[in-house]
């Protein structure tokens, strides 16, 4: 079988869980070799043991530039090149009201969600520029498209990831490097299970809740985002750069609300009309 990533080498940060793990599995199935980078040592090692020779795990804290540099260097020393950098590691970070948010919590969140993506882009570009090719994909969020669907620091970082994606795409295109982002809506992972139920292992309850609030009535799954990452990482998207692909069942396309479609049509039809209609019934 010829996979869509045959011969390609990828790094996936946050690859030991959720969206990252699903992407690692999808990339391997499509013929890639993958460096899995994550803070979680045990889960990362287990994934490497399961997937075998075409993966390497490295314990990485993406908020530390030296860790990200070492991750990229591992891809090159193990597999000879770097074709795809997926900056995906994330946390929800500082939560709560603006007035209660400490500078420490704010900066720690930016360290993972924004510095981590910047370091990933920078060190991927270091290898991809001399190579004359490459793809960088970063996980933003619908919290990077609109306000009010995530905590403040998270929202600021995800907006920034979309801005940095556009900025990097405008510089790196001349070297044959495409730079894109993905903005997932609610997706069933440990992160959302923790946010919804307080327990990262309560995936079933998270699935039910996410399905019940989705415009399509189905839950967003890590595989839905992995499919988007695959598209943006393979040659099918060869003319796509600087783009943010929203994967949210339509949530942001209507401002996050379907209320207008549920209101009584007769009332809506009359809304704004102050006098009885003068139109002839024959018109
Ligand atoms: N699940 C959703 O609904 C959703 C929606 C929009 C965006 N996202 C984004 O998707 C990405 C993946 O999240 P997920 O939902 O799969 O959650 P997850 O918790 O299943 O996976 C996140 C992974 O990132 C790793 N990680 C966290 N901090 C790290 C660090 N400093 N260095 C290295 N690894 C680190 C974690 O160990 C974990 O394995 C995140 O960027 C998140 O913001 C998720």
Q: Which of 37, 33, 72 is nearest to 54 (CA)?
A: 33
Count CB-CB contacts under 10 A for residue 220: 24
Q: Whose CA is closest to 247, among 225, 229, 218?
A: 225
The CATH number of residue 135's host domain is: 3.40.50.720
Residue 277 lies in a domain: no
124 located within any domain: yes
Q: How confident is the model at residue 272 (pLDDT cuts 50, 70, 90)?
A: confident
Residue 192 is assigned to a structural domain of this protein: no
Does residue 187 have its Cβ closer than 6 Å to ligand 1?
A: yes
pLDDT at 270: 76
Does residue 111 lie within any of the structural domains? yes
Cα 259 to Cα 278: distance, rounded to the nearest angstrom: 30
Could you write out the DSSP letters of every residue in 75-87? HHHHHS---EEEE
Question: What backbone phi and psi angles, to 5 degrees, belong to 177?
Answer: -105, 125
What pTM was estimated for this model as a whole? Answer: 0.94
- Nearest atom of ligand 1 to the alpha carbon of 113: 41
Per-residue burial over 164-179, b if 16 or more Cβ lie within 10 Å, else e, is bbeebbeebeeeebbb
Atom 41, ligand 1: which residue's CA is nearest?
90
- Ligand 1 centroid – CA 87 distance (Å): 10
Which pLDDT score is estimated for 26? 98
Which whole number is the average pLDDT over 90-109?
A: 97
User: Would the CB of 89 count as within 6 Å of ligand 1?
Assistant: yes
Which residues, other chains included, contact 268 with Cβ-Cβ below 8 Å and sequence gap of 6+?
260
Percentage of the residues of the chain whose pLDDT score is greater than 90: 89
Tell the residue nearest (CA) to atom 36 of ligand 1.
14
Look at residue 241 and tell me if it is in a domain: yes
Give the residue-averaged pLDDT of 211-229.
97
Mean pLDDT of 59-63: 98
- The pLDDT, as a whole number, for residue 274 is 76
* 277 pLDDT tier (thresholds 50, 70, 90): low
Q: Which of 136, 219, 234 is nearest to 184 (CA)?
A: 219
Q: Which atom of ligand 1 is nearest to the CA of 225?
A: 10
Verify whether ligand 1 is closer than 6 Å to residue 63 (CB atom): yes
Distance 112 CA to ligand 1 centre (A): 10
* Closest atom of ligand 1 relative to the 16 alpha carbon: 39
Instruction: Give the E-state strand segments of 29-172 in sequence order.
Output: 33-38, 55-59, 84-87, 134-139
Total of domains in the chain = 1
Active site residues: 154
Residue 108 inside a domain? The answer is yes
The finding on whether 39 has its CB within 6 A of some atom of ligand 1 is yes
Mutational test site, ligand 1, from 11, 12, 14, 88, max ligand atoms within 8 Å of CB: 14
Is 205 inside any structural domain? no
Within a domain: residue 238?
yes
Strands laid side by side in the 84-87 sheet? 55-59, 33-38, 9-13, 84-87, 134-139, 177-184, 244-247
| pLDDT classification of 254: cutoffs 50, 70, 90 | confident
Closest ligand 1 atom to residue 15 Cα is 39
The reported pLDDT for the residue numbered 271 is: 77
| Cα 4 to ligand 1 centre (Å) | 25
Q: Residue 65 sits in which domain range?
A: 9-185+220-257
Confidence band for 269, pLDDT divided at 50, 70 and 90 = confident
* Whether the predicted pLDDT of 279 surpasses 60: no
């Amino acid at each position: 079988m010829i996979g869509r990533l045959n011969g390609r080498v990828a790094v996936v940060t946050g690859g030991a869980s959720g969206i990252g793990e699903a992407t690692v599995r999808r990339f391997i199935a499509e013929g890639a070799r993958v460096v899995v980078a994550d803070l979680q040592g045990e889960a990362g090692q287990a994934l490497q043991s399961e997937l075998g020779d075409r993966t390497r795990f490295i314990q990485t804290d993406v908020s530390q530039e030296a860790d990200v540099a070492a991750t990229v260097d591992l891809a090159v020393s193990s597999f000879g090149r770097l074709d795809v950098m997926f900056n995906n590691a994330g946390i929800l970070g500082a939560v709560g009201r603006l007035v209660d948010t400490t500078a420490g919590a704010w900066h720690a969140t930016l360290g993972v969600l924004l510095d981590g993506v910047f370091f990933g882009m920078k060190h991927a570009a270091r290898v991809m520029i001399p190579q004359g090719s490459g793809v960088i994909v970063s996980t933003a969020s619908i919290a990077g498209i609109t306000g009010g669907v995530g905590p403040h620091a998270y929202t600021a970082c995800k907006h920034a990831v979309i801005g940095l994606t556009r900025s990097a795409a405008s510089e790196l295109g001349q070297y044959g490097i495409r730079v894109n982002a993905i903005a997932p809506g609610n997706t069933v992972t440990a992160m959302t299970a923790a946010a919804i139920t307080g327990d990262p292992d309560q995936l079933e309850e998270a699935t039910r809740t996410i399905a019940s609030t989705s415009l399509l009535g189905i839950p967003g799954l890590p595989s839905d985002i992995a499919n988007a990452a695959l598209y943006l990482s393979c040659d099918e998207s060869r003319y796509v750069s600087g783009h943010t692909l929203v994967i949210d069942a339509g949530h942001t396309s209507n401002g996050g609300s379907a209320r207008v479609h549920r209101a009584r049509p007769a009332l809506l039809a009359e809304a704004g009309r102050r006098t009885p209609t003068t139109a002839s019934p024959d018109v």
